[in-house]
Structure 1
Amino acid sequence: MSMKREKVRFVSGETECAAWHYPGTNGACVIMAGGGGVTKEPGTDAFAGRFNDAGFAVLAFDYRHLGESGGRPRQVVRIKEQLADWQAAIACAAALPGVDPAKLAIWGFSLSGGHIFGVAARTPRLAAAIAQVPNADGPAAARNAMRHQRPAAMLRLTGTGVLDALGGLLGRGPLLVPLDGKPGTVALVTTPDSVDADRALNPGNRYPEWLQAIAARSTFGIGSYRPGRDAPRVRCPLLVLVCDQDQTALAGPAAAAARRAPRGELVRMPGGHYEPFLGGHERAVEAELSFLRRHLLEQADRTAVQVPRA
Structure 2
Amino acid sequence: MRRKVRFTSGGDECVGWHYPGTNGGCVVMAGGFAVTKEPGTDLFAHRFHEAGFSVLAFDYRRIGESGGSPRQVLPLKDQLADWQAAVAVAATLPEVDPARLAVWGFSASGGHIFRVAAENPRLAAAIAQTPNADGVAAARNAARYQKPSAMLRFVGRAILDVLGGLAGREPRLVPLAAEPGTVAMLTTPDALDGERALNPGGKYPQWRQEVAARSALCLGFYRPGRHAARVRSPLLVLVCEEDRTALVQPSVDAANRAPRAELVRLPGGHYEPFLGGHERALDAELSFLRRHVLAAAPATR
Give 2:143's aligned residue: 146
Q: Report whether the alignment pairs 1:272 with 2:283.
A: no
Give 1:223's aligned residue: 220
Question: Of 251, 255, 258, which aligns to 2:252?
Answer: 255
Query: Could you give the per-residue CA deviations for residues 97-130 of structure 1, whole angstroms, max 9, x where no partner exists?
Result: 1100000000000000000000000012211000
Deviation at 1:220, TM superposition (A): 2.4
Distance 2:152 2:238 in 1: 33
Equivalence map 1:104-253=2 (5 Å): 104-253=101-250
Segments of 5+ residues of structure 2 without an aligned counterpart are none
Deviation at 1:12, TM superposition (A): 0.3
Distance 1:31 1:221 in 2: 25
Query: Could you give the per-residue CA deviations for residues 151-181 of structure 1, whole angstroms, max 9, x where no partner exists?
Result: 0000010000001110000000101100000
| Structure 1 runs, 4 residues or longer, greater than 2 Å off | none
Partner of 2:264: helix, strand, or coil? strand
Partner of 1:107: helix, strand, or coil? strand
Partner of 1:72: helix, strand, or coil? coil
Give 2:12's aligned residue: 15
Partner of 2:183: helix, strand, or coil? coil
Distance 1:232 1:8 in 2: 33
Give 1:307's aligned residue: none
Aligned amino acid, residue 249 of structure 1: A
Tell me how many residue pairs correspond in the alignment: 298
Equivalence map 1:289-300=2 (5 Å): 289-297=286-294, 299-300=295-296
For the aligned residue pairs, the C-alpha RMSD in angstroms reads 0.7
Distance 1:77 1:291 in 2: 30
Deviation at 1:149, TM superposition (A): 0.3
Partner of 1:236: helix, strand, or coil? coil
Partner of 2:293: helix, strand, or coil? helix
TM-score, length-scaled by structure 2:
0.98
Partner of 2:66: helix, strand, or coil? coil
Question: Of 76, 86, 89, which aligns to 2:73?
Answer: 76
Distance 2:238 2:187 in 1: 22
Give 2:42's aligned residue: 45
Distance 1:65 1:183 in 2: 28
Partner of 2:7: helix, strand, or coil? strand
TM-score, length-scaled by structure 1:
0.95
Partner of 1:173: helix, strand, or coil? coil
Distance 1:131 1:78 in 2: 20
Give 2:83's aligned residue: 86
Give 2:25's aligned residue: 28
Partner of 1:17: helix, strand, or coil? strand
Deviation at 1:267, TM superposition (A): 0.2
Query: Could you give the per-residue CA deviations for residues 24-55 of structure 1, whole angstroms, max 9, x where no partner exists?
Result: 00000000000001000000000000000000
Give me the identity figure in percent. 70
Q: Report whether the alignment pairs 1:102 with 2:99.
A: yes
Deviation at 1:14, TM superposition (A): 1.1
Distance 2:220 2:190 in 1: 18
